[in-house]
Structure 1
Amino acid sequence: MTTATDSKTMMRLQKYMAHCGVASRRSAEGMILDGRVKVNGEVVRELGTSISPESDRVEVDGTLIQTAADHVYMMLNKPTGYITSVKDNFGRPTALDLVRIDRRVYPVGRLDYDSEGLILLTDDGALTHLLTHPSHEFEKRYYVETDRLLTDTELAKLRDGVDIGDYVTQPAFVERQKGKGLIVGIREGKNRQIRRMVEALSANVKRLRRLSIGPLELGDLKSGAWRHLTPEEVAALKALQ
């Protein structure tokens, strides 16, 4: 196997693949061992292989991979009435319908059709894996408005963890807001989890808006609008691992 030697910047092959968003480093190692990776046209099966990102040509399953600098990272303030999928079999509008960009990006995680707020969109597979894998727990915060005023005792139950039918939730951050509003922070991603937590108290969610994903905050981004992440925001998300 031949790699360039005229560059001062050398990187382990699996690390380079992770930086390019192909997969997590561990998954990249499996791809190498399976013979799916070529460097300069030659199949590489050695995990200790180092390459030059500037000079070497790396292919996975016959496709040339790009460096992380070419990835796109965006935040969207999703309104209600949109699903967080690339397409919908029932013809409902998707979050991607709100984004006008000449790149194929994907939502990281999900946000209910009836919910609104922060969604991360990217083509970085490694970051997507980091943010969605169950072993990487970090807090997501939501503004939640219920159909009735919850008592202090009920809020304590949310903080301690509640039985939502097939699962007992982990302790949540809960802070009372004006009227029937709450700020709720959770570190899990069960389907419709916050709605089910409130329903376990014999109440219902009237409005649910995601405010943050780890260090990434929605801020004053208008409903339906999107923007690119700053380099600092991207670095903060990658530092979650």
Structure 2
Amino acid sequence: MAEQRIQKVLSDQGYCSRRAAEQLIAEGRVKVNGHPVGLGDKMDPDFDKVSVDGKSLRIVRKRQYIYLMLHKPRGYITTASDERGRKTVMDLLTDVPRRVYPVGRLDKDSEGLLLLTDDGAFANLLTHPSGGVGKLYRVTVRPRATEQQIVEMSSGVVLDDGVRTAPAVIHVVTDEPGRTVLEITLHEGRNRQIRRMCEAVGLEVVRLKRSAEGPVKLGMLQPGQYRELKKSEVSALRAAAKQGKAAAPKEESGRKGPFPRK
């Protein structure tokens, strides 16, 4: 591990805040390898010994977790392994140095943004039922969706298991004979929810692609490719999950101008 400022080491180890650590150093209460230190001095947490008021501080190395975004292609299942020998998203991550696990799911026939990590706390935060991280999907349905069908799905529909879905925000991207392309934002994650919502109102999903999750967007990432999330993206996802209704569009319902009708 590279050398770090001593106040940062104390802060990272949870001993005190960085400002409090600076005060301890200024008061001469901190030593490294038995020698008093000053503000701006550095230490190597892997080799040096630090003490405060004569008591040694045990350095605990923080695990460096992996946070990935994968553009899941159609035809792959979202699981770590499959006893039936089907292609899984893990087949696309053979060069990742540690085992990661999917955060949530996309069914075999769906594509788009899928998060993966080895940080269990992060995954639980994003998938907890109380979390409100909005997920944006582009969905092609047939036949052409009517305004009434859009309104029904926006307001919440009863699925085949008797459960009513939460309200969704829906916008029409393309409206033409025989097909409609929708953008749907959900704040819950029931199994195959969009397909079942569409089925409940008499629509068939032809194509389904997740393009964003909270503040994180798929962008130009190509099918089968993945990249590491930026630290700012991980922090933004955590904040979004904790807020409960993160990244939700400002409209109160999906009915506001759903169709560009004449």
TM range (shorter): 0.7 to 0.9
- Residue 102 of structure 1 pairs with residue 86 of structure 2: no
Deviation of the 1:8 alpha carbon: 2.9
- Residue 67 of structure 1 pairs with residue 33 of structure 2: no
What is the TM-score when the length of structure 1 is the normalising length? Answer: 0.73
What is the TM-score when the length of structure 2 is the normalising length? Answer: 0.68
Cα distance in 2, alignment partners of residues 77 and 84 from structure 1? 12
Deviation track 1:161-203 (CA, whole Å, cap 9, x = no partner) reads 1111221111101000114100001111111100000001111
Aligned to 2:47: none
Q: In the alignment, residue 176 of structure 1 is paired with which amino acid?
A: V
Question: Percent of counterpart pairs with the same letter?
Answer: 44
- Bigger Rg, structure 1 or 2: 2
Aligned to 1:55: 58
Q: In the alignment, residue 67 of structure 2 is paired with which amino acid?
A: Y
The runs of 5 or more residues in structure 2 that have no matched partner are 1-6, 16-56, 243-262
- Residue 111 of structure 1 pairs with residue 114 of structure 2: no
Deviation track 1:30-85 (CA, whole Å, cap 9, x = no partner) reads xxxxxxxxxxxxxxxxxxxxxxxx8334xxxxxxxx625x1111100000110111
Cα distance in 1, alignment partners of residues 237 and 228 from structure 2? 14
Q: In the alignment, residue 115 of structure 2 is paired with which amino acid?
A: L
Which of 7, 10, 19 is the aligned partner of 1:8?
10
Cα distance in 2, alignment partners of residues 231 and 11 from structure 1? 20
Cα distance in 1, alignment partners of residues 10 and 234 from structure 2? 26
Which of 140, 151, 159 is the aligned partner of 2:154?
159
Deviation track 1:62-111 (CA, whole Å, cap 9, x = no partner) reads xxxx625x111110000011011100111001111111211111110111
Which of 126, 131, 149 is the aligned partner of 1:131?
126
- Residue 176 of structure 1 pairs with residue 178 of structure 2: no
CA RMSD of aligned residues (A): 1.7
The runs of 5 or more residues in structure 1 that have no matched partner are 1-5, 13-53, 58-65
Which of 70, 78, 90 is the aligned partner of 1:76?
70
Cα distance in 1, alignment partners of residues 221 and 10 from structure 2? 42
- Residue 120 of structure 1 pairs with residue 115 of structure 2: yes
Aligned to 2:192: 192
- Residue 147 of structure 1 pairs with residue 131 of structure 2: no
Q: In the alignment, residue 164 of structure 1 is paired with which amino acid?
A: L
- Misfit runs of 4+, over 4 Å: none
